[in-house]
Amino acid sequence: MPLADIANIAEIFAASTIIVGLLFGWFQFREFKKRRENAVAVELMRSFYNADFAEAVSLIRLLPDGVSSEELRARGPECEKSAILLTTTFETMGLLAFRHIAPFKLVQELAGGLVVVTWRKLSVWLESIREEQSQPSWGEWFQWLSERLIAVKADSEPAHLKFKKWRP
């Protein structure tokens, strides 16, 4: 076999090896991304499965929409502690969604309604906290997430209606 033929075969083999390596890398990257999204989903779900979070939701859901800081504080320190817990939890979710670490659709399906209701209740209180603390960015990702979810919710149907005919 002539040396030129051997060189051509070697080039074909090298190119094939590179293509296979790139394909393998691409599949590995997709698998890594999927695992990361699953890990984030599990962590987001865990944030809902603790007694403090459940207690915070039960206290805040009883508040009127747009509760003032004075009225919230008049209900006791546990109520403001609950507002802070929910704000910081949803703040984290908002940043994770913005950075594409947590898929927005997952956040929407997991906590969309709760985030929107909590925002309705706490938005006025949050503005007063920003003024009191001279910190206009306090709760910024909670607000960002709420505004995005409100916009999306207007165009979406609740899961219990949308998937009414779904069967396992």
- Quote the pLDDT of residue 85: 96
Residue 92 sits in the same domain as residue 127 = yes
pLDDT mean across residues, the chain:
90
Residue 2 sits in the same domain as residue 35 = yes
- Quote the pLDDT of residue 134: 95
CA 139 remoteness from chain centre: 14
Q: What HEC string does 46-76 produce?
A: HHHCCHHHHHHHHHHCCCCCCCCHHHHHHCC
Total domain count for the chain? Answer: 2
**What's the predicted TM-score (pTM) here?**
0.77
Q: Residue 71's closest CA among 57, 83, 89?
A: 83
On whether residue 57 sits in a domain, the answer given is yes
On whether residue 58 sits in a domain, the answer given is yes
On whether residue 114 sits in a domain, the answer given is yes
On whether residue 12 sits in a domain, the answer given is yes
Residue 86 sits in the same domain as residue 152 = yes
Alpha helices in 49-156 (DSSP H): 51-60, 69-74, 77-98, 104-133, 140-153
Distance of alpha carbon 163 from alpha carbon 168, whole angstroms? 11
Model confidence over 130-156: pLDDT tens digits?
999 999 999 999 999 999 999 988 777
On whether residue 15 sits in a domain, the answer given is yes
Model confidence over 84-98: pLDDT tens digits?
999 999 999 999 999
Q: Residue 140's closest CA among 130, 152, 125, 149?
A: 130
- Quote the pLDDT of residue 146: 97
Residue 32 sits in the same domain as residue 111 = no
Residue 75 sits in the same domain as residue 106 = yes
CA 112 remoteness from chain centre: 9
For residue 29, give its domain range. 1-39
On whether residue 167 sits in a domain, the answer given is no
Residue 77 sits in the same domain as residue 112 = yes
On whether residue 101 sits in a domain, the answer given is yes
On whether residue 168 sits in a domain, the answer given is no
